[in-house]
Amino acid sequence: MLDVLLVALGAMAGAPLRYLVDRWISARHDTVFPWGTFTVNVAGSLVLGLVTGAAAAHGLPRSVVLLAGTGFCGALTTFSTFGYETVRLVEDGAYGYAAGNVLGSAAAGLMAVTAGYALATSL
Q: Binding site: residue ranges?
A: 74, 77
Helix intervals (H) in the chain? 2-26, 35-58, 62-64, 74-76, 79-91, 95-122
- What are φ and ψ of residue 69, in 5° steps? -80, -65
Calpha distance 120→37 (Å, rounded): 25
Return the sign of the alpha-carbon dihedral for residues 29, 34, 40, 45.
negative
Q: Binding site for Na(+): residue ranges?
A: 74, 77
Return the sign of the alpha-carbon dihedral for residues 92, 24, 100, 104.
negative
Question: Distance from first CA to last CA of the chain, Å, rounded?
Answer: 32
